[in-house]
């Protein structure tokens, strides 16, 4: 009998403890549910904001592309403008012109571009030292510069090569006979004299030319 009473009391105490534990844990469970609900709510808001941001970006792209085409830009320039988005054209153009004249030899590049790598290799072989202006670091700053370069030169692709502040084209080609690109200028015998005259060749002061370069220019 006494054992039965003791067992009953023990069971009652255990039950009371479980109930107390359950009651104590209820606020924590409720609090946990509230936190989960709050996190889910924030995630939904972030997703909506990101979705709205993407839609805004697409709308801006289309708008700028159409405006650029209406101004008479070709397809590549219109795409460059659209990628750049809305920016201060006058200020960016001025910045690009200053950068283009900031060293004897300036290249606007993308690091991963095969044409840029080839141009840099050719210039290295020629002994020229170039100032590199990355248009992909960061992209949000480089894209407007690329669009401005396209408007200045008629060619929005990279590299954009400048010698003594004068645009000479890209690596293999350019938009005009005056700016045909590095390789055509090299085949014409004009590249090295231009680099030496600008002071872009190691060990050759600005304005100095080798006898071979002078003969090429006079010819």
User: What's the pLDDT score for residue 219?
Assistant: 27
Look at 79-88, 180-189, 207-216 and tell me which has the smallest mean pLDDT: 207-216
| DSSP per-residue letters across the chain | -HHHHHHHHHHHHHHHHHHHHHHHHHHHHHHHHHHHHHHHHHHHHHHHHHHHHHHHHHHHHHHHHHHHHHTT--HHHHHHHHHH-S--HHHHHHHHHHHHTSSSEEEEE-TT-HHHHHHHHHHHHTTB--EEEESSTTHHHHHHHHHHHHHHHS--SS-EEEETTEEEE-SS--SSSSS--HHHHHHTT-HHHHHHHHT-BTT--TT---HHHHHHHH-
What is the reported pTM? 0.71
Report the percent of the chain where pLDDT is more than 70. 70
Q: Which residue has the higher pLDDT, 54 or 126?
A: 126
User: What's the pLDDT score for residue 105?
Assistant: 98
């Amino acid at each position: 009998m006494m054992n039965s009473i003791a067992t009953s009391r023990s069971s009652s105490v255990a039950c009371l403890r479980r109930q107390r534990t359950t009651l104590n844990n209820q606020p924590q469970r409720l609090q946990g549910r509230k936190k989960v609900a709050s996190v889910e709510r924030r995630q939904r808001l972030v997703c909506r904001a990101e979705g709205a941001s993407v839609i805004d970006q697409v709308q801006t792209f289309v708008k700028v592309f159409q405006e650029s085409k209406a101004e008479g830009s070709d397809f590549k320039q219109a795409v460059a403008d659209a990628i750049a988005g809305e920016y201060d054209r006058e200020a960016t153009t001025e910045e690009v012109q200053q950068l283009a004249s900031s060293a004897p030899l300036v290249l606007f590049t993308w690091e991963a571009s095969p044409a840029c790598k080839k141009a840099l290799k050719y210039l290295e072989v020629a002994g020229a030292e170039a100032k590199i202006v990355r248009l992909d670091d960061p992209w949000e700053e480089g894209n407007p510069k690329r669009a401005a370069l396209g408007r200045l030169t008629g060619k929005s692709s990279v590299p954009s090569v400048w010698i003594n502040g004068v645009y000479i084209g890209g690596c293999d080609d350019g938009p005009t006979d005056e700016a045909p690109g590095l390789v055509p200028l090299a085949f014409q015998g004009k590249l090295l004299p231009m680099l030496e005259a600008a002071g872009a060749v190691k060990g050759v002061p600005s304005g100095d030319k080798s006898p071979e370069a002078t003969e090429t220019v006079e010819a």
